[in-house]
């Protein structure tokens, strides 16, 4: 008679070979776009619209940082911040087109090209784009030394921290083809520590860098505002996000800003159709959408 209780399965033991070679199928949500080399896979120039600023992006947290900034600048009356936002479908490998790679050799959204000067200026990396726009328009980045240092410190904190949240925790908790406890424990530990960093800071200040709303809030909110509202990776209960009450207070306040409500719709391809503006080429493009339908964060 066979034993009806199967032995508990253990992960397949893996001994790295001397030289790594790519697996035939790596599995996971992004398996079809992962590759070990850079560069273009096909010829495709980037489209250029009528505005000085051309954005090539997708409504992920890194993309939303920039569309929120552009909408905030327009809300302040900076008409030079008018922009075309083109959709880049990363799941279909559009970031590997020759035009995209020329604008961003790292093949990741977001990338912006500024055509307002004699020569186009390319800017890649969302943090660099936020600084570029803040300096170009003199907004959302304080000029006073201490306040500027604080803002840039938190901006860099976000750029360094989010890969542990997305590429680490999110990947192993939600996307990896098998649940590996060691990896999930490691990144859950780090993400909870990061949330505590933010919670302690926001217990003391209204915004991340102090009394004023800055590009640091715009960088952090799309990642950690979403996480604290339980909207990232279905992990709200697992991480007990409701305990970070100061982050919640801050996330709710930012979500109410009209420019944030607009910015998070741009290049969005998931969720309620009423909340998606797949491409944005004119301020009036939002008129076809009912802002009231934007889901609260």
Nearest distance from C-beta of residue 129 to ligand GSH, angstroms: 8
Q: Output the residue with the shortest Cβ distance to ligand GSH.
A: 108
Check residue 67 for interaction with ligand GSH (CB under 6 A): no
The candidate with the shortest Cα–Cα distance to 216, out of 162, 275, 164, is: 162
Check residue 40 for interaction with ligand GSH (CB under 6 A): no
**Which residue, 161 or 235, has its beta carbon nearer to ligand GSH?**
161
CA–CA distance, 59 with 277 (Å, rounded to integer) = 9
* CA 84-85-86 angle, 5° bins: 110
**Which residue, 210 or 260, has its beta carbon nearer to ligand GSH?**
260
Check residue 57 for interaction with ligand GSH (CB under 6 A): no
Check residue 62 for interaction with ligand GSH (CB under 6 A): yes
Q: In the set 68, 69, 109, 215, which binds ligand GSH (CB under 6 A)?
A: 109
What are the residues facing 55 on neighbouring strands? 85, 112
C-alpha 5, offset from chain centre: 45
Question: Do the strands 111-114 and 53-57 form a parallel or antiparallel pair, or are they unpaired?
Answer: antiparallel
Nearest distance from C-beta of residue 60 to ligand GSH, angstroms: 4
Q: In the set 69, 81, 94, 108, which binds ligand GSH (CB under 6 A)?
A: 108
Count CB-CB contacts under 10 A for residue 156. 13
Q: In the set 54, 95, 151, 194, which binds ligand GSH (CB under 6 A)?
A: 95
Check residue 158 for interaction with ligand GSH (CB under 6 A): no
Check residue 60 for interaction with ligand GSH (CB under 6 A): yes
Inter-residue contact 198 to 117 (CB < 8 Å): no
Number of residues in the chain? 297
List residues near ligand GSH by CB under 6 A: 33, 60, 62, 90, 95, 107-110, 125-126
């Amino acid at each position: 008679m066979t034993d009806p209780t199967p032995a508990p399965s253990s992960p397949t033991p893996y001994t790295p070979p001397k030289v790594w070679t790519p697996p035939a199928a790596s599995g996971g949500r992004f398996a079809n776009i992962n590759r070990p080399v850079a560069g273009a896979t096909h010829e495709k120039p980037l489209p250029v619209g009528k505005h000085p600023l051309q954005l090539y992006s997708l409504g992920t947290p890194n993309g939303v940082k920039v569309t929120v900034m552009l909408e905030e600048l327009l809300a302040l009356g900076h008409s030079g911040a008018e922009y075309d936002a083109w959709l880049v479908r990363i799941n279909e490998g559009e970031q590997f087109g020759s035009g995209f790679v020329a604008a961003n050799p790292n093949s990741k959204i977001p990338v912006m090209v500024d055509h307002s000067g004699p020569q186009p200026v390319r800017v890649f990396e969302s943090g660099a784009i936020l600084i570029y726009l803040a300096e170009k328009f003199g907004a959302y980045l304080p000029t006073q030394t201490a306040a500027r240092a604080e803002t840039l410190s938190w901006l860099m904190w976000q750029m360094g921290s989010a890969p542990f949240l997305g590429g680490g925790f999110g990947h192993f908790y939600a996307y990896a083809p098998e649940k590996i406890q060691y990896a999930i424990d490691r990144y859950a530990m780090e993400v909870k520590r990061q949330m505590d960093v933010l919670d302690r800071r926001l217990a003391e200040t209204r915004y991340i860098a102090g009394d004023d709303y800055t590009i640091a809030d715009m960088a952090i909110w799309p990642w950690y505002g979403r996480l604290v509202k339980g909207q990232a990776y279905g992990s709200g209960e697992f991480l007990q996000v409701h305990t970070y009450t100061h982050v919640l207070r801050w996330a709710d306040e930012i979500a109410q800003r009209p420019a944030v409500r607009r910015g998070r719709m741009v290049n969005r391809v998931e969720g309620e159709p009423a909340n998606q503006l797949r491409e944005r080429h004119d301020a009036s493009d939002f008129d076809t959408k009912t802002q009231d339908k934007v889901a609260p964060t």
